[in-house]
Amino acid sequence: MGRSNGGGKLAATLALAFFATLIIMLPEVSAKRFIVGGNMGWTSNVNYTLWAGNQTFYFGDWLFFVYDRNQNDVIEVNKTNYETCIAEHPIHNYTTGAGRDVVALNVTHDRYFISSKGSCYGGMKVHVHLTPLPPPPKAAPVKSHSSRFTVLRSQLVIPAVFAVAAVWDSLILRV
């Protein structure tokens, strides 16, 4: 029943569903967890200015500091104390003692984190600037979204596409 033209219709439906799903899901799936320093983690001898310059941080993302708990810590300071590596009177001490500390990027202002153990002077400090969130999904052309969304979220998006497509296809076939 009406299956003869099903291939073309299904392809068109899939394409439609893909873009619809992308648009619907973007706001919900965009949080990302950044391991500070990537493979190197939180340690001396990493230029975190270079590392951070290579990332795009959005409100709602997370920082994950992974380090040797016997060597280092994670202290949030203000800009002045970031520049001078002063850990006294910190804004917040994120050190839990496990060498695995999580920071929610849930405020829009710039954030400054340093190690209080001396390595700060060698560059063990990171400044995080949030990129303003992308414009409301409806107004945004799909192509402008970075691979951050399309690649990293594909595991979530693709099954949803098939689910939507299946529903859509069955609706069309019934008409």
Ligand X SMILES: *[C@@H]1O[C@H](CO)[C@@H](O)[C@H](O)[C@H]1NC(C)=O
- Interface residues with ligand X (CB under 6 A) are 47, 49-51, 54, 73, 75, 78, 80-81, 87, 89-90, 93, 95, 97, 104, 106-107, 116, 123
43 or 93, CB closer to ligand X?
93
Min dist. Cβ of residue 57 to ligand X (A): 14
Q: Contact 86/77 with Cβ under 8 angstroms?
A: yes
Min dist. Cβ of residue 156 to ligand X (A): 22
120 or 164, CB closer to ligand X?
120
Annotate 69-134 with DSSP letters as a single string: TTT---EEE-HHHHHHT--SS-SEE---SSSEEEEE--SSS-EEEE-SSSGGGGT-EEEE-BPPPP
57 or 172, CB closer to ligand X?
57
**Residue nearest to ligand X according to CB distances in the complex:** 123
Min dist. Cβ of residue 48 to ligand X (A): 8
Backbone angles phi, psi at 76, to 5 degrees: -90, 130
Min dist. Cβ of residue 19 to ligand X (A): 26
Min dist. Cβ of residue 103 to ligand X (A): 8
21 or 95, CB closer to ligand X?
95
Query: Letter for the amino acid at 91?
Result: I
Interatomic CA distance for residues 31 and 57, integer angstroms: 9
25 or 35, CB closer to ligand X?
35
Q: Cα torsion at 79, 123, 58, 101 (round to 10°)?
A: -100
